[in-house]
Structures are given as C-alpha cells and as structure tokens.
Structure 1
Amino acid sequence: MQTYPEIAPKLVIHGGLLDTRKTLTQARHTQEKFHDALAAVVKESFDILCSVGARNAVLYAVRALENEPLFNAGTGSVLQSDGQARMSAGLIDSQTGHFSGVINVQHVKNPIDIAQLLAKEPNSILAGELATRYAQQRNIPYYNPITSARQQEYEQQSMHQTGTVGAVALDSKGVICAGTSTGGIGGEIPGRVSDSPTVAGTYASSVAGVSCTGIGEQIIDHAVATRIVTRVQDGIPLQIAVDKTLLEARVRDYCFGLISLDYTGKVVVGKTQEQEYYQLLYASYDGQRLSVYP
C-alpha cells in the first residue's frame, strides 16, 4: 500500500439527500439542527481520525449519525411497508481492500458495527433474519430503533426522507475508508436491498473513496461508487470523475447524491438533481477548515 506522509488527514460525512418537498417540517430551526449535528459529528470524528486512523474515524462518524434521530439510519430509520425497521450498512478500506456489509438487519442500535464484525468473517455480507441472529449470537444488545416520529409518518403514509448517512476518511498513512448506513426509502417491499451494503454505494481504494445516498436501485444500476473510484484509478482527477458520473446519471434522470475524497485530500460532493429543493446534507473537516451544508 502506498503512503502519503505529506497529506494531512481529511474527513467528509453526509446525512443524506433531502427532498424538502417531502418533509413534514423545513423550518429554519430544522436546518440549524442538521447543521449543528453534522458539524459536531465531523469534528469529533476528526479527532478519532488523527489518533487511530481512517477506519475507526468512519466507524465513529457513522455510529454517531446512526444515533441521531434526525437522520434515516439506526435510530430514526424509516419503516418498510409492513411497519418494520430493517437497516443496512457497508464498510471498506484501502488497507484491507475487503468489503463487508449487513442487509436488512433488525433490532440493533448501530448497523455499521455489524458490518465491522463481519469484516472479520470469511463470509462478510449477511442479510435478513440470519443477520439479526448473527448479531444476537455475538451479544449485540436488543434495541428498538423505531421512533415515535417515524411511527407517525408510517401511519400517515408520509415518509420523512432524509436519505442515508455515510463517511469517507483519509488518514496520515494514506488509508482511505468509506462507510454508509441506511434505514431504506420507507414504505418499500419488506426485504428490499439498498445500495449502501454494496460496492455501488460504498467503495474505497488507495486512490479514492465514495459514499452515496439517494434512490438505491439507480445507484446500483449506475455502479456509482465503483465507477468513480475506477475512473480515478485510471488517472482521471476526482472532480472530473464525479462530474462525468453525475452527467451520465442526469441523462437518465437519476436521483442521488454522493461524497468523495481522494488520496490528496481533495473532497468532491455532488448530486444529480440540480433543483434547490434537493439538498445534500454534508460536512467536511481537516482540522482547520470546516465546511457544512446546510
């Protein structure tokens, strides 16, 4: 593995692609809550990045976002059509080159932790009831992630779509790690598989890492994360790789957003839908410069 000792650590996180037309409330104070939550998580996670590396920073960041009911992951996950919360997460870093993921796990607080456990297994992706049983067998405490707000939205058939959460980090050793976690799209067929626990939605190599959010089927069809990283591996700058990928997706009227980071610390974020009411919630930090949207 290459190392880049002159490159300062960098971290970028996201809280999903928000369609403000479908939210229950979009008052100014709600925007401020998103801002404050993202800013706090990215700063805290950066300390982890500097002390114990990219993978631990991504785990910390995604776990913190899963614990924030504002976002659709972990606590606050939206409900599938049968009223159940089924959560998914994916994780990969450039040091191991090994992807691990959990699909439609239930009754856990932090799905990203199950993805981390599976990284140590010969079978690194598990799904459904057996994924839940796997977590129970490893003494992961039972947890109900369904909030009263999500239950109310389900009963009113008005899903508060704040998308997926994710993080991409670069540490001082040049390791890049990407992780993503989601509660799904809400109201979907029970057992539906999202992009988050696949390399289409979560991918990293020694040159770049990507975490996606949006309509998972479209992200999978477009192989977004791997497409971008492969282009960077082929010598295309990250900004151009992202722009080209988004342009191709716009032709097909796809709806997704992404965060990305390359081995130089360059951060690129983007979304396919250019309208103002589509907001990609994200934050980046390098120890000095903090960028947060909204």
Structure 2
Amino acid sequence: MKIIIHGGFFSESGTDNATKVAKQQALLRIVKDSYDYLQFHSAVETVVYAVSLLEDDALFNAGIGSQIQSDGKIRMSASLMNGLTHKFSGVINLQDVKNPIQVAEVLMNVEDRVLSGEGANQFAREHGFEEFSTEIPQRKAEYEAKVKSNGQGTVGCVALDKNGNIAVATSTGGKGFEIVGRVSDSATVAGNYANAYCGVSLTGVGEDITSNATATKIVTRVTDGFTLEKAFEKTFEELKPYDGFAGAIAIDYKGNMYHKDSHPSMVFASFDGENEEVFG
C-alpha cells in the first residue's frame, strides 16, 4: 500500500519560507492520515478522502483555497478515476460546494459521469451538497488588487491499495482571473488518469497539460512496458517544444512512486507506511 499527494506549485499563494514550511507540514500530515485511512479502505475511497482534506486546507488552490475568476466568482473542477474499472467521473466549473471531489465520487455511480456548469451545480444540490462559499479573505484581496498568481495550483492524490488497485483524484480552484467558461485539465484524462498499471495526477498550466495529453501518455507508456521513470522522461520531453508547465505524481502496479516537474517546484508528499518524503 502506497500513497502520494501533491499540492500544486510552490509559487501558488506565496513564496515566503513560512508558507513553504506550512505547506510541507500540511502535506505530510495529510499523506500520513490518508495512509492510515488506506489500511481499511479502497484506493478509490482513499484518494477522495485525501483530496477532500486538501480541499479543506486554504493553503492549497482547491476547495476553500480556490482562485477567483475574472467575473468575481469561484468555479472549481475535480475528477476521479478508478484504475480497476477504468471509470472516470468529474465536475467542471462547479460553484458553491466545499468538496468538489465528493461530487465527482457520487457521479461515478450514474450514467452521465462528467457534468459542467449549472448541470453540475444542480446535481450537487439534488444529492445533498449544501451551498457553501469557498471564498476566503486572501483570495478576495488578491482579486481586488488584481494580483495574479502564476496559475499552477491544483491538488491530487494517487493510491495503491492492499488489493493492488490504483485510483487517482485531482481537484483545482482554477488559475485565477481566467475567462468564464475556461476548462482546466483537472477534470480531463490529460490531468487525471489511471488503469490497472498506473495512476497519474497533474498540476500546472492546464492548456499545456491538455495539449500534451500528459497523464494519459504516461499511463499508456507504463502499460506498454515503459518503466515509470522512462514514461515520465519521454512525456516531459514532449512538453519542451512549447515550454510546457507541468508537474506530476504517479504510482505503478509494482508500487513504484515517481514525481517530476518541468519548472521548479511542485509540492508533494508520499508515504508507504515506513518511508516518508516531502518536497516543495
């Protein structure tokens, strides 16, 4: 059993040392808590649990830490993929919900598994998700002062459970000040993908990640016999012609964990019950 999480790029929500330490501590706490949860739950349940904890922490650009768009509103996206069943579910531009990843989890059990905009909002209300404002004073101040972040903030989790099943979940609050209706990579298979061989979650500039189909390429290459490291190397090499901005975490079916970013530095933490790693 292994688990790895990411909290976007360090440039998101401040670059001072205090923020860096706080993010590291939060990631380490969440990854260990989620590993304990993994002992008695499936990979799918665990990635939802871990990403929900990340969404509940204002240090990260998801859930209550989400960025404000150009019209002054917050719209979030999240997705979930079960490597065992190959089912993918997600929400795009969801509003006024505390934990978008949990809405994606409910969608996993219906026929229309990816919803956007008002349809996603209505589905959330009909399934008991209460209206909740995710706007926090820091984001409001950034918006009013027109201080743009670099737009590399997302959270994600990949887990390998005791039965050898892999699942992945990714959630984002957007890049901030984007055009209304913009779709990020987080609710697509470019940013969140898994099968029986590998699971990958991305963070970075959504347009770059989508152009490269990054998560799907890595998983496909591992499925075709590449090592996890080689799959990452080849896929990230393909970002270079347009200086693509991306960071990724992954676990393969052998229990290997890997991470890579094209520009410093993605924040992440991993744990396997004995060894811990935190960076960023």
TM interval, shorter chain, is over 0.9
Amino acid corresponding to residue 182 of structure 1 in structure 2:
T
1:241 corresponds in structure 2 to 231
Tell me which of 163, 176, 180 is aligned to 2:166. Answer: 176
Q: Which whole-Å CA distance do the structure 2 matches of 1:103 and 1:24 have between them?
A: 22
TM-score, length-normalised on structure 1? 0.93
Q: Which whole-Å CA distance do the structure 2 matches of 1:91 and 1:77 have between them?
A: 18
Contact 1:201–1:223 under 8 Å retained in 2: yes
Amino acid corresponding to residue 18 of structure 1 in structure 2:
F
Q: How does 1:120-139 map to 2 (within 5 A)?
A: 120-139=109-128
* Counterpart check, 1:11 vs 2:19: no
Tell me which of 33, 38, 49 is aligned to 2:38. Answer: 49
Tell me which of 100, 121, 141 is aligned to 2:130. Answer: 141
- Classify the secondary structure of the residue corresponding to 1:11: strand
* Counterpart check, 1:289 vs 2:275: yes
TM-score, length-normalised on structure 2? 0.97
1:86 corresponds in structure 2 to 75
Q: Which whole-Å CA distance do the structure 1 matches of 2:240 and 2:261 have between them?
A: 9
Tell me which of 267, 276, 286 is aligned to 2:257. Answer: 267
- Classify the secondary structure of the residue corresponding to 1:84: coil
Amino acid corresponding to residue 109 of structure 1 in structure 2:
K
1:163 corresponds in structure 2 to 153
What do you get for the CA RMSD once the two structures are aligned?
A: 1.1
Tell me which of 206, 213, 221 is aligned to 1:216. Answer: 206
Q: Which whole-Å CA distance do the structure 1 matches of 2:42 and 2:127 have between them?
A: 25
Instruction: Summarize deviations over 1:128-174 as a string: whole Å, max 9, x none.
Output: 01210110111211100010100000111113445100000001111
Contact 2:10–2:20 under 8 Å retained in 1: no
Instruction: Summarize deviations over 1:238-276 as a string: whole Å, max 9, x none.
Output: 110001111111232111111111011111100112xxx
Distance 1:195 1:25, change over 3 A: closer
Any gaps of 5 or more consecutive residues in structure 1?
1-8
Any gaps of 5 or more consecutive residues in structure 2?
none
- Classify the secondary structure of the residue corresponding to 1:265: coil
1:118 corresponds in structure 2 to 107
Give 1:24 shift: 6.3
Give 1:228 shift: 0.4
Q: Which whole-Å CA distance do the structure 2 matches of 1:72 and 1:293 have between them?
A: 17
Contact 1:71–1:162 under 8 Å retained in 2: no
Give 1:25 shift: 3.9
Distance 1:24 1:131, change over 3 A: closer
Q: Which whole-Å CA distance do the structure 2 matches of 1:90 and 1:215 have between them?
A: 17
Contact 1:78–1:185 under 8 Å retained in 2: yes
Q: Which whole-Å CA distance do the structure 1 matches of 2:227 and 2:9 have between them?
A: 24
Paired residues in the alignment total 279
* Counterpart check, 1:185 vs 2:171: no
Contact 1:247–1:272 under 8 Å retained in 2: no
Contact 1:100–1:118 under 8 Å retained in 2: yes
Give 1:281 shift: 0.4
Contact 1:78–1:159 under 8 Å retained in 2: no
- Classify the secondary structure of the residue corresponding to 2:265: strand
1:3 corresponds in structure 2 to none
1:4 corresponds in structure 2 to none
Distance 1:131 1:24, change over 3 A: closer
* Counterpart check, 1:226 vs 2:216: yes
Contact 1:74–1:111 under 8 Å retained in 2: yes
Instruction: Summarize deviations over 1:222-251 as a string: whole Å, max 9, x none.
Output: 000000000011101111000111111123
1:98 corresponds in structure 2 to 87
1:62 corresponds in structure 2 to 51
Q: Which whole-Å CA distance do the structure 2 matches of 1:219 and 1:24 have between them?
A: 21
Contact 2:152–2:203 under 8 Å retained in 1: no
Q: Which whole-Å CA distance do the structure 2 matches of 1:73 and 1:162 have between them?
A: 11
Contact 1:17–1:256 under 8 Å retained in 2: no
Q: Which whole-Å CA distance do the structure 2 matches of 1:209 and 1:37 have between them?
A: 23
